[in-house]
Amino acid sequence: MSHGFTGRIGGLLTAARRHLATLRCVAFDDLLAANRDFASDFAYGGFDGVARAGVAIVTCMDSRIDPLGMIGLKPGDAKIFRNPGGRVTEAALEALVLGVHLLNVQRVLVVPHTRCAVASNSEEVIRDRISESAGVDASWHRFHVVDDQRRALEMDVRKVLSHPLVPDSVEVGGFLYDVDTGLLDRLV
């Protein structure tokens, strides 16, 4: 009798797994269809991966930012590193060092932006919002909010310039991107 119960539970679990697998597939169908359209006239095959324009951009993950378009570049021209707030983190520095020494990067733009959630909320507010959304306490997680964008940008540019593996020949600039006008303002 317990074998029959176990068999039914196993059957339900198998059906549930199949249903979840189907949902997972459907969740990306629109994106996969768009990818097929994109690939139908794909023009970037065969690129060697170097930054043809010699540019690297560190910017925010905000979807209002088109890092290549905002400076008139196209795929293959620049290396792009995105994170919340567009900060020069250890991972960003790692990417920049690789870019400078292996991928033709000669100019680095550090580009936070106006109306950034990371720069307009406190650590506590962000944690509370994440906790509420997740239904789990997020008070232990650090989100690296920025209370002064200009000062943070100055610090980030100095981090790049002072890194022992970034040669003096690399130009580094700090810019603020205005999400309402599309304009860059050089601050550092």
Tell me, what CATH number does 163's domain have?
3.40.1050.10
Which residue stretches of the chain have pLDDT < 70?
A: 1-7, 10, 19-24
Indicate the annotated binding residues for Zn(2+).
60, 62, 113, 116
Residue 48 lies in a domain: no
Indicate the annotated binding residues.
60, 62, 113, 116
Which residues, 6+ apart, have CB-to-CB distance to 155 below 8 Å?
A: none
Termini Cα distance of the chain:
75
Domain match, 69 and 146 both: yes
Residue 64 lies in a domain: yes
Summary mean pLDDT of the chain:
93
Structure tokens at 185: 């303002």
Strand partners, 107: 55, 171
Domain match, 69 and 92 both: yes
DSSP state of 42: -
Output the pLDDT for position 14.
Answer: 76
Residue 67 lies in a domain: yes
Domain match, 80 and 8 both: no
Q: How many domains does the chain have?
A: 2
Domain match, 35 and 71 both: no
Q: How far apart are CA 174 and CA 183, in angstroms?
A: 13
Output the pLDDT for position 23.
Answer: 63
Residue 50 lies in a domain: no
Domain that holds residue 78: 55-186
Domain match, 18 and 106 both: no
Output the pLDDT for position 149.
Answer: 96
Output the pLDDT for position 7.
Answer: 65
Domain match, 115 and 164 both: yes
The residue assigned the tokens 């991966």 is 49
pTM of the model: 0.84
